[in-house]
């Protein structure tokens, strides 16, 4: 929805609004459902735009190289900040750099994007699920077009468009369409999950009796063997350690909180490579290490 709004605004600014349409095909009855639940329902909309760009890019577990060009030439963090504040959204920065609406309500972000889309003339088609996309060659050798095939309650509909943005998130249909259009899709793995450690919370475990304990700053670390190609070069089995710090919560099932979520994101492929059977160490006071 945000991309549609931005595209429609650009067309208006360049004087193409009279002969161009921007359409959003939404397969469900509610748009931006993921925005609604992000950040615990508060929506951490952007990162602290005053920070140096390398630091902002470092907040992304993957894709920082691809984002660098976008963030420097097309839509910078400052642009994102101005986009929301110019539409009446007041933002605040928390200690970890995440920025939230001052209302602490994701509906504030949803309303800003939705109202902007409406003002710019975006046509939002609800309950219209995209099932496939076909690339249509231009007979005169020019740029081809895309035939978007959707399904509604009343039947199937096909629309031919000049440009297409896939914003399907983790839904498999998006990967299927991308592959059909010739793109290479990297196999996705789970991310942003909590750690199941029921055996350690149970009687006799090292976390027994700690359920409900919250720590303002802890460090979680995962040790994994280096990539096989590196092993063959060095002929010595070495391990790399991936760590993340932040608030931590011991639950009845294991470990949760921002520190766990961050480690699961930055080490998503490492966790997958060991089939999620591994040991994670907890340092409950990393801030005291320098004092020792």
> CB–CB of 99/42 below 8 Å?
no
Quick one: CA dihedral 44, 50, 53, 54, positive or negative? negative
Q: Can you tell me the mean pLDDT for 213-224?
A: 94
For residue 228, pLDDT over 60 is answered with no
For residue 290, the model assigns a pLDDT of 64
Residues ≥6 apart with Cβ < 8 Å to 18: none
- Average pLDDT along the chain: 89
Q: How confident is the model at residue 227 (pLDDT cuts 50, 70, 90)?
A: low
Instruction: State phi, psi for 247 to the nearest 5 degrees.
Output: -60, 145
Give 131-188 pLDDT, tens digit per residue: 999 999 887 777 789 999 999 988 999 999 999 999 888 888 999 999 999 999 988 8
Distance (Å, whole) CA 212 – CA 83: 40
Nearest CA-CA partner of 44 in 94, 5, 118: 94
Give 62-119 pLDDT, tens digit per residue: 888 888 888 888 889 999 999 999 999 999 999 888 899 999 999 999 999 999 999 9
For residue 231, pLDDT over 50 is answered with no
Is pTM beyond 0.85? Reply is: no
For residue 291, the model assigns a pLDDT of 58
Percent of the chain with pLDDT over 70: 93
């Amino acid at each position: 929805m945000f991309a549609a709004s931005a595209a429609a605004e650009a067309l208006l600014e360049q004087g193409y609004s009279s002969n161009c349409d921007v359409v959003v095909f939404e397969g469900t009855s509610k748009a931006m459902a993921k925005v609604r639940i992000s950040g615990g329902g508060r929506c951490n909309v952007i990162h602290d735009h005053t920070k140096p760009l390398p630091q902002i890019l470092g907040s992304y577990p993957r894709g920082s190289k691809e984002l660098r060009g976008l963030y420097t030439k097309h839509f910078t963090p400052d642009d994102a900040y101005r986009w929301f504040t110019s539409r009446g959204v007041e933002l605040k920065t928390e200690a970890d750099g995440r920025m939230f609406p001052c209302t602490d309500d994701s509906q504030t972000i949803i309303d800003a994007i939705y109202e902007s889309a409406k003002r710019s003339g975006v046509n939002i088609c609800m309950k219209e699920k995209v099932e496939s996309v076909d690339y249509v060659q231009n007979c005169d050798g020019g740029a081809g077009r895309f035939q978007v095939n959707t399904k509604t309650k009343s039947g199937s509909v096909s629309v031919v468009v000049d440009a297409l943005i896939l914003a399907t998130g983790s839904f498999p249909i998006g990967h299927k369409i991308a592959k059909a259009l010739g793109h290479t899709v990297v196999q996705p793995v789970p991310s942003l999950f909590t750690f199941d450690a029921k055996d350690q919370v149970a009687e006799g475990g090292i976390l027994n009796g700690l359920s409900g304990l919250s720590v303002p700053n802890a460090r979680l670390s995962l040790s994994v063997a280096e990539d096989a190609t590196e092993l063959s070069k060095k002929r010595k089995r070495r391990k790399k350690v991936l760590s993340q710090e932040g608030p931590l919560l011991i639950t009845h099932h294991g470990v949760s909180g921002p520190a766990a979520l961050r480690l699961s994101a930055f080490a998503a492929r490492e966790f997958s490579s060991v089939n999620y059977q591994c040991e994670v160490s907890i340092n409950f006071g990393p801030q005291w290490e320098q004092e020792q």
